[in-house]
Structure 1
Amino acid sequence: MVQDIKYETFDNLQKFMTLGFKAVGVPEADAKTCARVLIESDKRGIDSHGVGRFKPIYIDRIEIGIQNVVTHPKIVRETKTTAVMDGGNGMGHVIGTQAMQLAIDKAKAYGMGMVAVRNSTHYGIAGYYGLMAAKNDMIGMTGTNARPSIAPTFGVENMLGTNPLTIGFPTDEDFPFMIDAATSITQRGKIEHYARMHKTMPYGWVIDANGDAVTDPDIALKGLVDGTCALAPLGGIGEELAGYKGYDYATVVEILSAALQGGSFLHQLSGFDAAGKRQPYHLGHFFIAIDINAFTDPAAFKKTAGEILRTLRASKKAKGEERIYTGGEKEYLAYLKRSKEGVPLNPAVRQSLTDVRDKYQIDFKFSWE
């Protein structure tokens, strides 16, 4: 089936999302920050975390009252190199940006900085915060817990979030190295993307209550909410493909996103209270910035990093494969392509955008209209 795809520019989408966030009460400066984080995902070809989530994740949660539009993060504990921040269930993009900037500022002064956050909300593409550090000649790391989705190895109950462990650093190439991946075999955003495209998911991403694979994205999304489905950890189902490694890494992120800051964890992040009523997700994050200059000359680090990546890409390729990629390369190539063509939007995403525009009477016309 041929998809009805239309294209929109980065600038237009960012402008519209800014107007949309303002329309539901987000202050202008914060609205710009939220839109900037979201469009970064679309720029890098990561459709699961960009404009496609603008309405169903952020606008809808604001409308039902489980996410605060005004964000006032508070530092509740601090040393020269560390801090604990309470986000007050505000906009996660704003909280995340401020927390990583604080970690960067501490790293500039003392070589390393780490900020742990509690009571936050979904902060968008984790790689955005790694890129913030890389642009400052730093190594950046971040992670976040999330509503339960992953079943432990040999289990079927969704216990852990998709819990990305993200690392980025600068190189002497045109793009930084970046690994921004869930610790599950996939993440909820990709399943949402398959549902929007009305496509069958790959076998082995999701299991049902018996441990059998589910390939219908709509059944999977419903089951992830009501507890009848769960994501497999990175590696896959059981021990044969080392799924326990993804399970343990997800646990690491869960602990670092909850234990340092006295935050919520596991089923406390379900978004429902004991009576089944919707409530804020109370997510936790952590942000680490390491100043390369505290160890070596940044130019020397970038050169070595670049040589390692180029050597990997130049290594012997498997039969039938044209090239080898390194972390962040495909996203950079997507950026070059989309800078010219725009962001591809399917009918469901376009409808979600026009629904917000019409509901809040925003004076805006998309290029596809």
Structure 2
Amino acid sequence: MPLRLLAVQDNFKVQESDAIRVSSQDLKHITRELFQKAGVPQEDAVIAAEVIVMADLRGVDSHGVSNMLQVYLERYSDGSQNPEPQWHIQRERTASANIDGDRGLGIILAPKAMEIAINKARENGVGVVTMANSGHLGMAAYHAMMALPHDMIGMCLTATSPSVLPTFGRIPRLGTNPIAIAAPAKFCRPWVFDMATSVVPVNKVRNVKRIGSMLPGGTIADAEGSPLMEPAFVPDDFNLLPLGTHRDGGSHKGYGLAVAVDILCSVLAGSDYGITADRSNYRHYFAAYNIDAFSDVEAFKQRMDHFIMDLKKTPPAQGHDKVLVAGDPEWQAFDDRSVNGIPLHYEVVAWLRQICFQYGVQTNI
């Protein structure tokens, strides 16, 4: 197996030899200033910088500065994203709300929507908020994790523009439609699950193309919808596949999950779904579950500790060192990058220097 392919399978990370380490504080400063130069109010720019850099800190490079900052700035520049949205609740009940985002960027509006869900859960046990007419919300786990300090379970779903083939399909009909759930524990770190309903999100494919690596077989399909089952470099034209790759591998399950996300995020919110929605219209779903409304909080956390540790005590299969649980790789990345800086590909650093010069933002990276 080619060495480059092995590197890709290891979370699609940039090679250390191609990386420049940048501190999270420097990256937040640059990002915040760039958002403000794009017309975003200071308070919202702080939120945006926090969300996008947290993705980098947790090793979710596909949703960090490397891939998304340029996209966000371009959307402000071309007018598809509103830097000062007049978002509003258009329908509300005691435990639920539906928000019109007024084309505001999701990484800024999603934390505000999740706060509403948390406040409703505090009073009612459960809080659910939907949002349409918004933009990309970044790493979904960020918003789900907001519930953790409140002794709540958090959930975030988001329906994106079509890039994923339905099982047996030739044309993309669904977004990568991620699902994130976060649950607190007592002594163990929180269980944080964040997955796309496609085999991989498109930004990971872009990362692989940037670093010149090969994708494992079964990751994407060609332009005609046929899965590429052998390791290959990323072609110019490709389609994403639902989780499972093909019918025999269970792709109908990934396909079904993607549809379910679109129902909860889009149809429930009274919005167009992925096939019919404007490509700049992202739809979201946020939920908070107050543990105290269902069981004793301390007992829940202790039970979570036991559950997590029992999973980790599972004897590993041959060729593997240990069994992990959701969130383990991200916590490991967070520990490393908080101390040693965030590894950015040298091309990304060159772009950051260029865009900072273009926008008149001082930087020392």
TM superposition score category, shorter chain reference:
over 0.9
Unaligned runs of 5+ in 2: 5-14
Deviation string 1:199-239 (CA, Å, 9 cap, x unpaired) is: 222221111243333543351xxx3xxxxx321111112x2
The secondary structure found in structure 1 opposite 2:54 is helix
8 Å contact kept, 2:107–2:137: yes
Q: Distance in 2 between matches of 1:100 and 1:174?
A: 24
8 Å contact kept, 1:43–1:334: yes
Question: Is 1:266 the equivalent of 2:265?
Answer: no
Deviation string 1:156-175 (CA, Å, 9 cap, x unpaired) is: 21100000111111012342
Which segments of structure 1 move beyond 3 Å, counting only runs of 4 or more?
Answer: 213-216
2:11 is aligned to none
8 Å contact kept, 2:171–2:225: no
Letter in 2 for 1:217: V
Provide TM-score, normalisation by structure 1.
0.91
Letter in 1 for 2:305: G
2:312 is aligned to 313
1:248 equivalent among 246, 253, 256: 256
1:40 is aligned to 54
2:334 is aligned to 335
Q: Distance in 2 between matches of 1:95 and 1:10?
A: 22
The secondary structure found in structure 2 opposite 1:89 is strand
Question: Is 1:203 the equivalent of 2:217?
Answer: yes
2:291 is aligned to 292
Instruction: Give the Å deviation of 1:192.
Output: 1.4
Deviation string 1:167-203 (CA, Å, 9 cap, x unpaired) is: 1110123421011000001111101111221222222
Provide TM-score, normalisation by structure 2.
0.92
1:138 equivalent among 145, 152, 172: 152
2:233 is aligned to 216
Figure out how many residues of one structure are paired with residues of the other and give that number. 348
Question: Is 1:109 the equivalent of 2:132?
Answer: no
Q: Distance in 2 between matches of 1:4 and 1:45?
A: 16
Q: Distance in 2 between matches of 1:166 and 1:352?
A: 30
Q: Distance in 2 between matches of 1:11 and 1:59?
A: 20
1:159 is aligned to 173
2:103 is aligned to 89
1:360 is aligned to 359
Deviation string 1:232-256 (CA, Å, 9 cap, x unpaired) is: 111112x211110000000000111
Unaligned runs of 5+ in 1: 224-228, 272-280
2:7 is aligned to none
Q: Distance in 1 between matches of 2:172 and 2:196?
A: 15
Deviation string 1:113-133 (CA, Å, 9 cap, x unpaired) is: 000101010011000011101
8 Å contact kept, 1:156–1:207: no
Compare 294-303 and 76-85 and name the one that shifted more.
Answer: 294-303
8 Å contact kept, 1:102–1:115: yes
Instruction: Give the Å deviation of 1:312.
Output: 0.7
Compare 54-63 and 17-26 and name the one that shifted more.
Answer: 54-63
| Identity across matched positions, percent | 33
C-alpha change, 1:29 and 1:334, in structure 2 (3 Å) is same
C-alpha change, 1:52 and 1:361, in structure 2 (3 Å) is same
Compare 342-351 and 117-126 and name the one that shifted more.
Answer: 342-351
Cα RMSD of the aligned pairs, angstroms, is: 1.4
The secondary structure found in structure 2 opposite 1:180 is strand
C-alpha change, 1:111 and 1:64, in structure 2 (3 Å) is same
Letter in 1 for 2:234: P
8 Å contact kept, 1:148–1:269: no
The secondary structure found in structure 2 opposite 1:142 is strand
The secondary structure found in structure 2 opposite 1:166 is strand
The secondary structure found in structure 1 opposite 2:147 is helix
Deviation string 1:16-42 (CA, Å, 9 cap, x unpaired) is: 100110111110000000010011111
Instruction: Give the Å deviation of 1:54.
Output: 4.1
8 Å contact kept, 2:126–2:287: yes
8 Å contact kept, 2:227–2:245: no
The secondary structure found in structure 1 opposite 2:215 is coil
C-alpha change, 1:218 and 1:17, in structure 2 (3 Å) is farther
The secondary structure found in structure 2 opposite 1:88 is strand
Alignment of 1:57-96 (within 5 A): 57-96=71-110
Letter in 1 for 2:61: D
Question: Is 1:169 the equivalent of 2:183?
Answer: yes
Q: Distance in 1 between matches of 2:86 and 2:140?
A: 21
The secondary structure found in structure 2 opposite 1:267 is coil
The secondary structure found in structure 2 opposite 1:135 is helix
1:122 equivalent among 126, 136, 139: 136
Compare 138-147 and 256-265 and name the one that shifted more.
Answer: 256-265
1:236 equivalent among 235, 241, 245: 245
